[in-house]
Structure formats: structure tokens, C-alpha cells
Amino acid sequence: MTELVRDTLTLPNNGQKLLLHSCCAPCSGEVMEAMVASGIDFTIYFYNPNIHPLKEYEIRKEENIRFAEKFNIPFIDADYDKDNWFERAKGMEMEPERGIRCTMCFDMRFERTALYAHEHGFDVMTSSLGISRWKNMAQINDCGERAVAPYPNLTYWDYNWRKGGGSARMIEISKRESFYQQEYCGCAYSLRDTNKFRKSKGRAPIKLGVMYYQ
């Protein structure tokens, strides 16, 4: 196997310390390995109150912790304030994926990430969310920029983690590490709509905690 030669990444605005909002191990795996290879000083911030139900949340979090420990990367386990998330989602229950409910969700998670970064001496923040081809990168980056706007000393890094084969390596790492394979975005409404689609195709509903990358 040919050894992967990575470009050396540098943080924007001469940044020294980065806070990585991670949504899950599969999406953050490539992001983490790329930053480790470049010697970037970073910490993982796991704040995802959208993930439903609790069983799914715990599996995704533990997978992320397992991978972070492999590289001795600090891991911040933030609150699972799902009631706050559901309150913010009121009136958006029937919105489609990539719609205004997703914008609300990204805003909520990034606002908390930016606040933590500001309070704990991080000068750059980014997220692993954008590496997924299922996500709208422009939508995510807009939310990131809004989140850091109140903090003059904090920069949102809008690096395109998909480029240069990043999305393919995300899958390769997931298979290598046998990560839990998530079958829906994460929230209750995503689970509902995914199961509705599966039913229309004659497929069984999602079973939590069963699928793993091989």
C-alpha cells in the first residue's frame, strides 16, 4: 500500500489552538488524522443534542471517544440538552433535510462551540460536519461564521475537508476502525423520514446499534 502523503495544514489568521466540533467518529476520523499529521494543536468538542434517541447518542459519542483516545486528543463531552433542541425545533418538525431546521441545528451547536472556544483560549474553531456529502457545506459554513461573529479573537475555519480525497478517506478510516455506521443524520425527524423512505422501498426500519463498517 502506498503511504499517504498529506499537505501540511496551517490554521487561518496565524491561529495556534483549534476547537473541533465533532458530530461523530466517521465524519471526524479523516479531519482528526489530517490535523494530527500537520501537528495542529486541537481539542474535540462533542455537543450534539440533536441526536435521538439517547441510545444512538451514547453509541456515537463513545465511538468518537475511542478514536480520540487512540491519538491522545483531548475530548470535551458537552451537555446533552435535548429538551432545548426540541424546543428550538418547534414548528420545524416537517421541514426537509438541509432546510431551516438543519440551519437551526447547526447554529445551536456552533454557538455553544464558539462560546466554549472563547472562554477557554481557542483562537480557531471548525467542524467535521462538512466532510459528509449529505450536508450542504455552504449552509454549514454560514452557521460557523455567524457563531464566531461575537468574538473578535475567534476565527471559523471553513476548510473543505472533502477535497483531495478526504471523503473517500473518511470511508476508508471508518472501515479500518470498524466504526458504528449511522443510518440517518441524527435527529428524531431524520429518523422518522428515513424510516418512512425505507418503508416505501419495502425495507425494514432502522435498528439502532447494529450496523458497523466492515
187 annotated binding-site participant: no
Q: At 14, which amino acid appears?
A: N
Each residue of 84-94: b (16+ CB within 10 Å) or e?
ebeebbeeeee
What is the spatial distance between Cα 57 and Cα 79, in angstroms, rounded to a whole number?
12
Q: At 9, which amino acid appears?
A: L
23 annotated binding-site participant: yes
Q: Torsion angle of alpha carbons 151, 154, 160, 162, nearest 10°?
A: -100
143 annotated binding-site participant: no
Nearest CA-CA partner of 66 in 174, 158, 182: 174
185 annotated binding-site participant: no
Indicate the annotated binding residues for [4Fe-4S] cluster. Answer: 23-24, 102, 105
Indicate the annotated binding residues. Answer: 23-24, 102, 105
